[in-house]
Structure 1
């Protein structure tokens, strides 16, 4: 009788837990898939150099005289911008200049010009012979050549910028001191455009075309300042030793964010697709039987096998296995199994 009472007491003290179920939901973040564009790039690196550069040397000996920059009010210096034809340095030599007799030859040309016009007028009226007219013409040509040659020689006394650019080298010479012929006076560069030689593996030859878009990256340039370029030259020949072909990139550097000599990365746009499904690479799980991702519908995670296409640094195109508006799991997928229950978090 006592045993029966104890049994009844035990049964009455332990409620039935068979109907209580603990439901575990895995927290995940999701995004709704929308059509996007994706691009594939060929990555290469190299050093950029100026689009134009010129080293100017003294064409004659004489007294060195560095000119003042009208833009700054001081003598020309490294980094100064110059215009084509602007005189940066003058080489003075009074004896040389006097021997040129530029003014005398200019006057002689004026006289020869007047005489030729007079002879032409007389010839038209029958006043002189054709021989006399031709002699006047020859005298005029000789006078013109003499004057032009004197001007050419006189121009050698001025060291001028050959094009719009920036002074990047200016060897020191003391004003008023004689310099010899052939000494380096200055170096000018134009780098609002830059060039870069690249050698690409031969497998990329069919993908690279003239004027193809290139994006440029450098650690000195902020990400918001996108720099673009294009393929300007392509060699059709494959180097037998390196199995590469040479191309030249032309880079738009209007803001002068890059400088000649900088090391850069170049991303050559080889293919671009619009309106396709693109997902983060990190969401793709690789398995022996293929690649999978997880999507969520009605609180249930479903494993989807996918086929991928184009890839970039961070994203990948999905050719099959997903559709627009699918809700892709972008975080928390590491612990999921097919048909896992999930709770969506932001």
Structure 2
């Protein structure tokens, strides 16, 4: 019996050890690394040249008094009140009148108008008489000279009279309106108001020399400002200087911005992103999923519960994403979290 136990005990011990070892091996084999994946779909990616600057109006005009007289600000028919800062005005609309009765009397515009009518009547009579030989050529020419002089005299008087009504030079908004007491006399040359049109805004930018080949006329620009964070305003490149500044190694461009909703104001500091390149229907992945190695860049995809290493070639990139030119295909399941501890052909458990 002792001999039997002596033989059986080592055999039992070996069986137990083998069983434990096999169980541990199975446990190790079944360990799966938890990961999150996304299915790759075609996307677009754009690269921008970013710059900042201050916008200014595309059109502005300052109106001054061309003669002295009594200051009379007019009422805005839209508000029923005297014109004020911020009022929208139309081209040719009278904002201020300068009254001077003595000036008007000296123009003698009514008498000059009557004189012109008489000269026109006389010239009309002289022409058929000349055709019939009733007057000489000299008489006809004198009548023509009298008519021309009367016409110029009346037109000049009308031009001077028109200076008494100060009109908006174009459609726009009153942005400056120096205060003058209504009914007081002002002198010639005083500033009366300033009008701006800012449905189109401009911005001067200086871009690094390396971007010159990428910038073209009418190229799309996206405009943002902290006051309009929810809106992106569009613009274009309207002018490009071909000269490089020798000191700064930059070239000047002018951006034209569509501001028909008046979200921007002249003088605002804004950020402009010039679209330099765009790719549509391409593979785009988060930059953080890429592992950089000495021999290149790799990512992991999941196929049948196995993480497979894929070497990739990249193209356009932004701050957060990058284009994959080769190495991946549409509908590949890209590992976006948990890839840090993966090895090629690691077993994974995909988290939902």
Distance 1:328 1:125 in 2: 103
What's 1:175 paired with? 182
Q: Does 1:234 align with 2:246?
A: no
What's 2:157 paired with? 150
What's 2:95 paired with? 88
What's 2:292 paired with? 286
Give the superposition deviation at 1:338: 2.4
Distance 1:30 1:100 in 2: 87
Deviations 1:21-50 (A, max 9, x none): 253333322222222222221111110000
Aligned residues: 343
What's 2:107 paired with? 100
Deviations 1:196-225 (A, max 9, x none): 0011111111111111111111111133x3
What's 2:32 paired with? 25
Q: 1:136 to 1:274 in 2, by over 3 A?
A: same
What's 2:314 paired with? 308
| 16-25 or 278-287: bigger deviation | 16-25
Alignment of 1:184-263 (within 5 A): 184-223=191-230, 225-263=231-269
What's 2:79 paired with? 72
Distance 2:45 2:86 in 1: 41
The secondary structure found in structure 2 opposite 1:21 is helix
Give the superposition deviation at 1:291: 1.9
Give the TM-score normalised by structure 1: 0.92
What's 1:317 paired with? 323
Match of 1:37 among 35, 40, 44: 44
Distance 1:180 1:33 in 2: 74
Give the superposition deviation at 1:104: 1.8
Q: 1:337 to 1:112 in 2, by over 3 A?
A: farther
Q: Does 1:113 align with 2:120?
A: yes
What's 1:164 paired with? 171
Query: What 5-or-longer segments of structure 1 have no aligned partner?
Result: none
Deviations 1:31-77 (A, max 9, x none): 22222222221111110000101111111111111111000111111
Considering only CA atoms, is the larger Rg found in Structure 1 or Structure 2?
2
Distance 2:168 2:288 in 1: 55
Q: 1:121 to 1:291 in 2, by over 3 A?
A: farther
The secondary structure found in structure 2 opposite 1:153 is helix
What's 2:138 paired with? 131
Show structure 1 runs of 4+ deviating over 3 A.
Answer: 14-17
Bigger fraction of residues in helix: 2
The secondary structure found in structure 2 opposite 1:341 is strand
Distance 1:191 1:264 in 2: 15
Give the superposition deviation at 1:336: 2.8
Deviations 1:274-293 (A, max 9, x none): 22222222322333332222
Query: What 5-or-longer segments of structure 2 have no aligned partner?
Result: none
Q: Does 1:344 align with 2:323?
A: no
Distance 1:127 1:300 in 2: 117
What's 2:54 paired with? 47
Distance 2:344 2:309 in 1: 5
